[in-house]
Amino acid sequence: MAAAAGAWLRGCAKLRRHTPAYLAPWRVSPCVFRSSKSELKPNLASDGLACAPLQMFTEEEAMLKDMVTKFAQERVAPFVQKMDENAKMEDSIIQGLFEQGVCTLLPNLYFWKLMSIELGEEYGGTGASFFSIILAVEELAKVDPAVALVCELQNTLTNKLFTTYGTEEQKRTYLPRVSKDTLGSFCLSEAGSGSDAFSLKTRAEKKGDYYIINGSKMWISLAEDAGVFFVMANTDPSLGYRGITCFIVDRNTEGLHVGKKEDKLGIRASSTCPVTFDNVKVPETNILGQVGQGYKYAIGMLNTGRIGIAAQMLGLAQGCFDRTVPYTKERVQFGKSVFDFQGMQHQIAQVATQLEAARLLTYNAARLAETGRPAIKEASMAKYFTAEVPASPSLQGFIPLLVATLTTSKCIEWMGGVGFTKNYPIEKYYRDCKIGTIYEGTSNIQLSTIAKFLAQEY
């Protein structure tokens, strides 16, 4: 017995010697938790900053929000059903997005162009904030997420690529065009490179002072109407992803072919097409940034773009919610409105809470990005939450659903049979939202990104 007890004690001592630091006794604090750390506030007087709730906007932002709301209701809403059925964006809507709008708040006049919100005035843009882009995308998505996508991609990808990495000559050549009437299209994905984007096979071979591009791309947004393409191609496959370079290719370049657009489940008015490159000759001066740095540019742009997609999903869900709740207050069953049943009220309250949480995540990521602070983790969290978050167990039986899907799914149920028909827009919101878990990084990619940053923090 004594021998057994001694062996047991020796085993316990050995176990203690090999216990990881983070399993130390409660009385020992192995580290300061990352979540407990705080940052000093900036010098409010010198920096001109003020602490305010995330949903408090500047005068310019509030004006833009109101203008976009009006544009969406008057210029977009009448065509939503037709565009969805025909899978074609109305030309007048694209023109309207490029047009200059005027907001008046005496004594000030504000001029807005929804396709160049953050772009400087010297290039024909508005010169507003990044957060203004997020507000515009959210408001447009309340009416039609496909139109919101056009605005989002033009602002967060096309304009941002030129302003961040373009030469002065490239800026002078292209920025006035993309501000006035030219859509851009980002060509990254291929048949064999989706989430593993940097395994792309499109090749760019150097010939003197120009390159010859050969290859094909898939799932290219806005390709049907785009006038300029950002093409990711590998200039030296032996270097792997470090050979990926971004090329600016005009639509009318010989050898560039835009294929038949996809017949999609949702966001049907926004085109998605394959694009092929058959001996496309591109001058060396059309390289965006530096040779071999294309993968860095893609990562950077997608990290910012994810905030825009979060705003799109948020607006989509809110638009669906706003159309449905009034119906529940008008629809009478068993002698009272559907809304007056406590079970219904609890469901509506839970969905409203999810929407508010998604909005705060999205706005926080946008404000961080706007001030130049790191926001990669926050952007992924915002996109993931608006695109895939566990619904309340009482609502969905532990089934993971995206906020937008949770909202649109419940809205169809709340409206009953009419919500299941194409006579009402609720089923369209339901179809439109699924893409949120796929493009600009799937939900699993977002989780991997978040986990990577958590590993660094702890």
What phi and psi, each to the nearest 5 degrees, are found at residue 104? -115, 125
Quote the CA–CA distance of 193 and 188 in Å, as a whole number. 8
From CA 145, how far away is CA 139, in angstroms rounded? 9
Residue the block writes with tokens 């509030």: 62
Residue 152 and residue 137 in contact, taking contact as beta carbons nearer than 8 Å:
yes
| Chain center to CA of 396 | 25
Q: Which of 215, 248, 219, 256 is nearest to 231 (CA)?
A: 248
In this structure, how many other beta carbons lie within 10 angstroms of the beta carbon of residue 201? 14
**Beta strands at 228-234 and 244-250: parallel, antiparallel or unpaired:** antiparallel
What residue type is assigned to position 193 of the chain? S
Structure tokens at 122: 């010297």
Show the 3-state SS of 40-61. Answer: CCCCHHHHCCCCCCCCCCCHHH
Q: How many residues does the chain have?
A: 458
Q: Are strands 228-234 and 184-187 parallel, antiparallel or unpaired?
A: parallel
Nearest to 384 by CA among 454, 283, 335, 319: 454
CB atoms within 10 A of CB 306: 31
Torsion, Cα 241 242 243 246, to 10 degrees, reads 90
H/E stretch holding 361 reads helix 342-370
Structure token pair of residue 111: 């001029």
Residue 341 Rama label (left phi>0; alpha psi -120 to 50; beta): beta
Q: List CB contacts of 63: < 8 A, sequence separation 6 or more.
A: 103, 105, 110, 112
Give the span between the Cα atoms of 118 and 155, in whole angstroms: 7
Which residues participate in catalysis according to the annotation?
440
The DSSP 8-state label assigned to residue 306 in this structure reads H
